């Protein structure tokens, strides 16, 4: 968790000079006000029409009716009349480095952090001011996170887990093991180690005490939160850790003041994780191809205040997948998953919008044959998947304000960052998105991004990503 | 469990005519007495020198000093002066049909029960009057069991589990999945179904209630006891069922008056099974290649009176395996296993002798390259492995009487058959082995089989197996 | 080659009693006459309307106008008014045992000759009185051939090559090598040896002299003719033998009074075989996926009187294949093949109807996914493929009488059996097919089989096959 | 072939100042003399003791007794008293880029010429002033060759063939096809195309005319000579091209004034290549694992003046290979190969020293398990293999002067460069090696390299390679 900053609460009077919407980013330290827009705060009961949001030193310092906010002299102004202001969007579960193919692993070895940065810029461009990376290489993620936090590069604010505890690395049986035979063992080992960092499959042989010691060490490596596998990654009904070991992992995370989440893919491994005390269930809507999650389990989630990141897809996409469904795909899982999502809405589970997205290598993507997965309401395409996920939640009947919360305040709260991000309350970090159309009227309006403000400064979204490497590859690359 | 028969207790006077040791099997119904031998009953404090065991109608009716046992007129006599009588030996964990290669599966389809019979005759020949088959095809096992029980064929008394609940069949990923591509799907399906019978991997997706219903159905198929996988079969650290599902399986077994055991291969899956209430841990000495089972767990086993079938191997075999150890073998598991066995002896766990043996296809065996596994103190060779296991227990320092119990009374008790088999008490089924040398002096003396008596009749061990099919195959078969 | 028998030439007077068409097969030795039909002899200039064919002792003894043929007393009569008589059909290239799947190889080991017999009965049922098996297991083929020739079983007259010289057996890289890992080496070896008989791939390492010695030995094993691979079986552009080695093989075949044919699949290996002096090119219409055979090569075939067995398929089938064409199939080869067939017709090459057919295992066939290959104008289905091939030749514009010759007299001549079979001349073996409709009007009329006469006796085609084993398997077999 | 330069023939008087042996490379254009050494010219009848070699403008201008050679003023002098001068060594068959593993292919894409340069520097360092690269990527080889020829980088003089006509590229079935599944098709295609350049396997489908057209085009791409596959690369007994197509390839090469050689691996493909008129047989000592090349074929080689590059290995290496011989290796081929080498010596075939060497990726090499191939008298190690090959020829009984010729004048003559390189005649390019010990006394003395002179200038061999990339990789690279 990031350190909790003192929250400024003063409401100041509003005085400002009109600024063009296309105005350049404000200078560092210069106050900024967005005025004239409808302010939609997920934590507020009602929206503020013709409102204003004043930001100083990276924080929101005042929110209110346009006339009721005092704007200091020299404040930069964004005239947002007719537009809509929401908190910066988030993704509770994505992967800024998801390129496990040998071509990328070899070609960009030593430069993975550049791909992470590129990814974080694509997410920022699409309105996501904060993203939660739930599996990736530790050092590159840390480096990119720190560069962004230090203002050395633009990008979404990153929190990351590093490895999923209990999983082996990219060139292991958990991912692309069959590729390992085609490169040196030295390369395999250092690639896997970039992910595993002592938290791989070997832990499954261990006693609770030994696992605890390993996790304790891992919490000191610079990761922001913990994620472990309650389910196996490869054969999705297998369980990785006994309940008592799961409990140890959770306790070690909490001891280090970190939230703990788990990868589960079956009804029973989900139940075990709940009993073990996790804070978040990652893609908790995936419970296998056969049986949906019982309502009894849903109620446990609500009672214990456990949030669930979900992977909603549109009916149109589900239809496309079913039509083009080759053997062995996840389509039956997504079908059951949709039922689980509906049950969660019914039960009142705190659902966190997520995508599992990453930058797919464009050449490899173009060469893969599955038509539907590439073209219809894509889920895992970075900078695009979350728009489709928001629309899918709408299809499922989720209330408009709840949809907004699933992408903002719920995520902040689940990750225990509710004092920093996820709402438009004074004192919060000044992460805003200005939309041309009202997102509460239609989820597709989240796409109508007019401007993105992060840390109280307007982002030059047209320039993102600033140094594209992999997202622009052509067929002959 | 078999129905508990009324136990005859009458001690009758001993009168008999001397019979040659090589006498033919007694006629049905004819009483039989073994006289002059040292009687070693695992449940007795001391042995009886120059003792006699009288058997009538398949039961032991009197045991005592030779002069103290009344022998009815017409009783057939085995003069066993200088010899040693022990209860019939047992194997707590073997596989009478273990031939998963395509050649055998195809060639003998519809005749697997003949292979089961052949196996049960080889075990009987080696002194095992009762065997517990812990994984195999249901119908062939039932057919062979019933034929033997009905006296239609000689053979060890069989109790069997059928499938290991949670495992898929022989031509699945759990065993020989890669072979499935080379035969018809129809063949694959009916072969797998011969084992699975509705208790395969799909159960891992299910809720406790659904699993319970499936198990309830399975208990009605004719199996004698239940066995389920707490660990996965293929990647041995994965866990197959949550603790609450394991508990449901145990409860369903007990409801059907069956003992329940589990396949575990890791420290944690073992602990889960203990908590779930199982009666027996199958090869509970296998806990992975890294960490032995904690003494705390050993104590739980003792406190809750849970028996553990073990797979002891001699140091000589272990050395041979280590020397010829190709990558990916079980040798590190056996090394840790030996440490676990020692800890069990120390803790006083009820250990059950077992081998996992089956009839290997002799041609395939000869073609396999692993030298050590074929020639040095073999473990899984049917009719041979248990002798080596007994010697291995001796090496580990187990007391002589405890070794005998591990192969007789402990097994009977673990399977809740202590009122029927496993000792030489009057009323027990008359299963005896007469040895030339004293097994309490050296475990190798278990090999000195002079005669085997089952159900009160002497077995013609020279004739076994009576119609060999697979155990005699030559290189060009 | 079969020994050339003295040809009876006497024309006897026709006297007969009318017999029902459905009359039972004539007694051995009893003369038989077919009368009233249009007699179509591929070697005659014109058909004989209302003709008669008299058969005695297995030979045709007279052919002519019904009134001009003297029929001995006691002659059995088939009244075939309105029908059409042609010589028994042939297939120049099929495989009576084509079941290389492990299930069949294992299950029927020792009984392959029964499958060969079943196949030969299915071909006979479909009008093929003689078939040329160009690849199969030597001993089973010899046994079936000899049983049929001895009258011990019904079936098409068989001539066979055994192995294709230079190919390894069924469980080698040439066919199903990847299956070999799933059975014993002993089984692999004896299965491969059943085909190879010393004429496998190893010959490719050898000098011409060594190859010659091996072939000389092989000609003494009971095969009827020789076939060798000029092209490799697996990667179809590779060449197996140098031209001088090919010449040695041809010479050894001719020395043993055998015809010699070759498997070629490329333009260049075809040319090499021509230069080496072969008698027949097997499926000489297959020249790869790219380039058709040059007309210059076609002219060589004509000048040197080399016959070519072809695999014609209908346009409808070709379309179906192209539509459902998965990667890696032979469809492009068939497309080029069709062009080659047209060029052969243009050049006047002696084309021999062939199918490469065999009895596919019905269960495996049903499980295979390629729709087109199973349902549209099948090529390799035994008893069916040749009808489609005849129709395909018609589509290609071949003259009706030439189509008939491609399935009768051309094949007989190519195999140097023109004095025995392939025409309706007196002295020939009495193999006839009686059709309901005129095959010269439409090739589909070859399907209108009314009766089949072999060796001068009517075949009970309704009863064929007499003991079906594999052609009748159901999904659960 | 390189253009034939006008040969200077003037003998000038010798005047010189003594220079230190360790003197720096002479300035461009400065004459150089080596004096005092024993001059061993493979084309001369006797050696010249206390001789001198004068070099001007990159050519040898005078050779003779030290006192008989006029040395111009300003000539740089190498005092080589007690040493031995031979022509620069050559390798008739190596591969300057032999790194087909994905790691290298991906990491160094676009930089292969740097690896080629590094390799050419390692060969130069070991005394090889000219090397013949018989398979590799065209553009990188051309670039490195041209840079060396232009004096932009040091390195052995390179002549190269590019692709072996009829072979597909590195990520095809001919080499590492199974790796192709792990990278993009785009990468596979452009990698393969870097080698194939329109001369791949597809040619095997073609008619002679089409192949001729393809070769004609290929001769214009900048390659120095042609090499085609008479044998297949993967299954070594298959033949790739008919004799008439082979003849067309040879003719097209000769038409373009290029020598033509062929890859053969069987007795018969060798004979076909001889008949087709090739100039050189590449590793013509490899004729499979069974049969040596008949003496009749050896005589053909002599009569038609066809040179054979050979791969001699020492008996010590052969023993090591046989001891550690895993299934599927080339050891039986090398055993037969040694017999072929002996037969060639007996028959008087012009044998060309060759190694098939390349820079193995050191990390991959260290990880590979074959002990013998890495440590005992290595054959394919660049800069080392030719020394072992020279020793192996000595073991086989080849005369000392003939050994020298096999590495110098024979190679020059076979490649039709005898007017440029391969001897110490005046007019030749001034490529020399100065040895400390007499190579005619023991072949191991070729290792005693004192100095290397190329193009009349002393090479700074201590500095080679100048910018090592791949030859220095460490285990963690």
- Tell me: the pLDDT tens digits for C105-151? 999 999 999 999 999 999 999 999 999 999 999 999 999 999 999 99
Residues D441-467: tens digit of each pLDDT:
999 999 999 999 999 999 999 999 999
- Token pair belonging to A3: 């350190």
Q: Which residues of D touch C288 (CB under 8 A)?
A: 205
The distance of C156 to chain B (nearest Cα, Å) reads 30
Q: What one-character DSSP code corresponds to residue C428?
A: S
Averaged pLDDT for residues C312-327 = 84
Q: CB neighbours of A402 closer than 8 A, spacing ≥ 6?
A: A393
Residue for token digits 């394991």? B246
Q: pLDDT of A169-191, one tens digit each?
A: 999 999 999 999 999 999 999 99
Q: Which has more confidence, C4 or C469?
A: C469
Strands (E), B339-402: 351-353
Instruction: Inspect the interface and report whether the beta carbons of B185 and C103 lie closer than 8 Å.
Output: no
Residue B184 has its nearest CB partner, among C109, C186, C363, at C363
| All chains having 3 or more CB pairs closer than 8 angstroms to chain D | A, C
Separation CA A327–CA A321 (nearest Å): 11
pLDDT averaged over chain B?
A: 92
pLDDT > 70? residue C9: no
Using the Cβ of C288 and the Cβ atoms of chain D, whether some distance falls under 8 Å is answered with: yes
pLDDT tens per residue, range D237-250? 999 999 999 999 99
Residue written as token pair 């006339």: A67
CA distance C257 to C411: 17
**Encoded tokens for D273:** 């290549």
Among the listed residues C254, A174, A12, C231, the one whose alpha carbon sits nearest the alpha carbon of residue D239 = C231
Give the β-pairing of D84-87 and D32-39. Answer: parallel
> Is C475 in contact with B186 (Cβ distance < 8 A)?
yes
Q: How far apart are CA C376 and CA C195, in angstroms?
A: 32
For residues D369 and A421, the model is more confident at A421
Which string of b and e fits A6-38 if b means at least 16 CB within 10 Å? Answer: eeeeeebebebeebeeeeeebeeebbbbbbbbb
Closest-CA residue of chain C to D287: C205
pLDDT, chain C, mean: 92
Task: Give the model confidence (pLDDT) of C207-258 as tens digits.
Answer: 999 999 999 999 999 999 999 999 999 999 999 999 999 999 999 999 999 9
Helix (H, G, I), strand (E, B) or coil at B370: coil
Which of D205, D242, D288 comes nearest C205 by C-beta?
A: D288
- Please tell me which of the candidates C207, C245, C288 has its beta carbon nearest to residue D205: C288
Residue A355 near residue A96, CB atoms below 8 Å: no
Question: Between A and B, how many CB-CB pairs are < 8 A?
Answer: 90
Q: Quick one: average pLDDT of B419-436?
A: 98
Q: Is D110 on the interface with A (CB under 8 A)?
A: no
What does the H/E/C string look like for chain D?
Answer: CCCCCCCCCCCCECCCCCCCCCCCCCCCCCCEEEEEEEECCCCCCCCEEEEEEEEECCEEEEEEEHHHCECCCCCEEEECCCCEEEECEEEEEECCCCCCCHHHHHHCCCCHHHHHHHHHHHHHHCCEEEEEECCCCHHHHHHHHHHHHCCCCCCCEEEECCCCECCCCCCCCCCCHHHHHHCCHHHHHHHHHHHHCCCCHHHHHCCHHHHHHHHHHHCCCCCCCEEEECECCCCCCCECCCHHHHHHHHHHHHHCCCCEEEECCCHHHHHHHHHHCCCEEECCCCCCCCCCCCHHHHHHHHHCCCEEEECCCCHHHHHHHHHCCCCCCCHHHHHHHHHHHHHHHHHCCCEEECCCCECCCHHHHHHCCCHHHHHCCCCCECCCHHHHHHHHHHHCCCCHHHHHHHCCHHHHHHCCCCCCCCCCCCCCECCEEEECCCCCCCHHHHHCEEEEEECCEECCHHHCCCCCCCCCCCCCC
What is the share, in percent, of chain B residues with pLDDT greater than 90? 86
Residue D371 has pLDDT above 80, yes or no: no
Q: Is D337 on the interface with C (CB under 8 A)?
A: no
* CA distances from residue B368 to B365, B371, B375 in whole angstroms, order as listed: 5, 8, 12
Q: List, in order, residues 6 or more apart from A247 with CB less than 8 Å away.
A: A208, A275, A276, A277
Cβ contact C266–D291 (<8 Å) = no
B268 in contact with A, Cβ within 8 Å: yes
Mean pLDDT within C302-321: 95
Q: How far apart are CA B278 and CA B249, in angstroms?
A: 9
What is the rounded average pLDDT of the residues B11-21? 33
Q: Is the pLDDT of residue B183 over 80?
A: yes
Residues of chain A with pLDDT under 70: 1-28, 325-328, 369-374, 477
Contact yes or no for C268 and D289 at CB 8 A: no
Please give the structure tokens belonging to residue C375. Answer: 């349902």
Average pLDDT, chain D: 92
Nearest in space to B116 (alpha carbons), one of B88, B157, B87: B157
Check if B296 contacts A (Cβ < 8 Å).
no
How far is B69 from chain A, CA to nearest CA, in Å? 56
Residue C361 near chain B (CB below 8 Å): yes
Out of B269-278, B355-364, C14-23, the most confident range is B269-278
Pick from C166-175, D222-231, D327-336, D354-363: least confident:
D327-336
Q: Please give the residue of chain C at the shortest CA–CA distance from B171.
A: C182
Provide the pLDDT for residue B9. 32
Check contact D-A (3+ Cβ pairs < 8 Å): yes
Chain C residue nearest residue D336, CA to CA: C205
Q: Please name the member of A178, A182, A186 whose beta carbon is closest to the beta carbon of D475.
A: A186
φ, ψ dihedrals at D106, nearest 5°: -80, -50
Could you tell me which of A88, A87, A9, A85 has the C-alpha nearest to residue A52?
Answer: A85
Closest partner CB to A103 (pick from D184, D361, D477): D184
Confirm if B334 and B328 have CB atoms less than 8 A apart. Answer: no
* Predicted confidence (pLDDT) at residue D320 exceeds the cutoff of 90: no
Residues of chain C with Cβ-Cβ distance to B178 below 8 Å are: 182
CA-to-CA dists, residue C92 to C134, C232, C283, C356, angstroms: 8, 21, 10, 9
Mutation target to probe the B interface, by most B beta carbons within 10 A, among A229, A242, A293, A333 is A242
What does the pLDDT look like over C61-86, one tens digit per residue?
999 999 999 999 999 999 999 999 99
| pLDDT beyond 80 at B357 | yes
Average pLDDT over residues D400-429: 98
Strands C351-353 and C307-310, bridge-based pairing: parallel
Find which of D110, D184, D189 to mutate to test the A interface (most A CBs within 10 Å of its CB): D184
DSSP B141: H
pLDDT at C27: 53
Nearest to C413, CA basis, from C405, C401, C403: C405
Helix, strand or coil for residue B195?
Answer: helix
Give yes or no for residue C321 having a pLDDT over 90.
Answer: no
- How do residues B270-304 score in pLDDT, each as one tens digit? 999 999 999 999 999 999 999 999 999 999 999 99
* Whether B183 and C361 lie within 8 Å, measured CB to CB: no
CA gap A461, A451 in Å, rounded: 8
Q: Does B264 touch chain A (CB under 8 A)?
A: no
Question: Given an 8 Å threshold on Cβ–Cβ distance, is C207 in contact with D291?
Answer: yes
Residue A69 near residue A60, CB atoms below 8 Å: no
Of C239, C267, C287, Cβ closest to residue D239? C239
| pLDDT for the residue B475 | 76
Judged by 3 or more CB pairs under 8 A, whether B touches A is yes
What CA–CA distance (Å, rounded) separates B136 from B196? 9
Q: What is the mean pLDDT of residues D184-203?
A: 98
Q: What is the ipTM of this complex?
A: 0.92
Which pLDDT score, from 0 to 100, does residue B330 have? 82
pLDDT score of C44: 94
Mean pLDDT of D166-176: 98
Whether A206 contacts chain B with CB within 8 A: yes
pLDDT of residue B225: 98
Chains with 3+ CB–CB pairs under 8 A to A are B, D
Distance (Å, whole) CA A168 – CA A181: 16
Chains that touch B (3 or more CB pairs under 8 A): A, C
pLDDT of A327 = 61
Q: Which range (A20-34, B19-33, C246-260, C366-380) has the least confidence?
A: B19-33
Q: The tokens of C64 are what?
A: 């002519």
Chain D residues close to C287, C-beta within 8 Å: 205
Q: What's the pLDDT at A25?
A: 47
Whole-number pLDDT of residue C372: 53
Q: For residue C473, what is the nearest residue in chain B, using CA coordinates?
A: B186
Output DSSP code: residue C264: -
pLDDT at D370: 60
Give me the half-sphere count of Cα atoms (radius 13 Å) on the Cβ side of residue B238: 22
Nearest to B334 by CA among B348, B349, B358, B314: B314
Is residue D180 pLDDT above 60, yes or no? yes
Q: In this structure, what token pair is assigned to residue D139? A: 């553009």
Say how far apart CA C10 and CA C13 lie, in whole Å. 10
Interchain contact, C206 vs D267, CB within 8 Å: yes
Q: Which residue has the tokens 């997920």?
A: A42
């Amino acid at each position: 968790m990031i350190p909790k900053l003192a929250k400024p609460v003063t409401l100041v009077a509003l005085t400002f000079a009109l600024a063009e919407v296309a105005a350049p980013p404000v200078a560092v330290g210069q106050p900024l006000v967005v005025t004239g827009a409808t302010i939609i705060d997920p934590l507020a009961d009602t929206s503020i029409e013709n409102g204003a949001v004043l930001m100083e030193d990276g924080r929101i310092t005042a929110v209110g009716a346009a006339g009721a906010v005092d704007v200091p002299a020299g404040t930069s102004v964004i005239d947002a009349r007719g537009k809509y202001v929401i908190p910066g969007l988030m993704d509770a579960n994505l992967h800024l480095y998801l390129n496990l193919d040998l071509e990328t692993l070899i070609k960009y070895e030593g430069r993975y952090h550049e791909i992470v940065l590129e990814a974080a810029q694509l997410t920022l461009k699409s309105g996501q001011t904060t993203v939660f990376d739930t599996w990736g290489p530790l050092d590159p993620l840390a480096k990119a996170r720190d560069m962004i936090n230090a203002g050395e590069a633009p990008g979404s604010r990153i929190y990351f887990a590093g490895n999923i505890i209990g999983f082996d690395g990219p060139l292991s049986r958990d991912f692309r093991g069959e590729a390992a035979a085609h490169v040196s063992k030295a390369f395999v080992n250092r690639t896997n180690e970039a992910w595993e960092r002592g938290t791989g499959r070997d832990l499954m042989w261990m006693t609770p005490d030994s696992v605890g010691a390993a996790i304790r060490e891992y919490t000191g490596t610079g990761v922001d939160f913990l994620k472990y596998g309650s389910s196996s990654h490869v054969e999705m009904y297998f369980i990785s850790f006994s309940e008592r070991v799961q409990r140890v992992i959770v306790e070690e995370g909490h001891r280090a003041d970190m939230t703990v989440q788990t990868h589960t893919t079956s009804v029973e491994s989900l139940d075990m994780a709940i009993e073990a005390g996790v804070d978040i269930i990652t893609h908790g809507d995936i419970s296998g191809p056969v049986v949906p999650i019982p309502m009894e389990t849903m109620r446990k989630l609500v009672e214990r205040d456990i949030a669930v990141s979900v992977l909603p897809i549109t009916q149109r996409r589900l239809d496309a997948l079913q039509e083009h469904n080759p053997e062995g795909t996840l389509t039956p899982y997504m079908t059951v998953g949709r039922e689980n999502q509906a049950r969660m809405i019914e039960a009142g589970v705190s659902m966190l919008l997520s995508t599992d997205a990453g930058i797919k290598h464009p050449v490899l993507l173009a060469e893969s044959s599955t038509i539907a997965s590439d073209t219809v309401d894509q889920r895992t395409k970075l900078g695009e998947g979350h728009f489709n996920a928001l629309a899918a939640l709408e299809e499922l009947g989720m209330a408009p304000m709840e949809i907004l919360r699933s992408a903002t305040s719920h995520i902040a709260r689940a990750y225990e960052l509710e004092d920093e991000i996820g709402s438009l309350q004074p004192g919060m970090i000044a992460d805003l998105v200005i939309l041309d159309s009202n997102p509460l009227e239609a989820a597709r309006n989240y796409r109508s991004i007019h401007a993105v403000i992060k840390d109280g400064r307007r982002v030059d979204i047209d320039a993102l990503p600033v140094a594209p490497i992999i997202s622009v590859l052509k067929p002959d690359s």
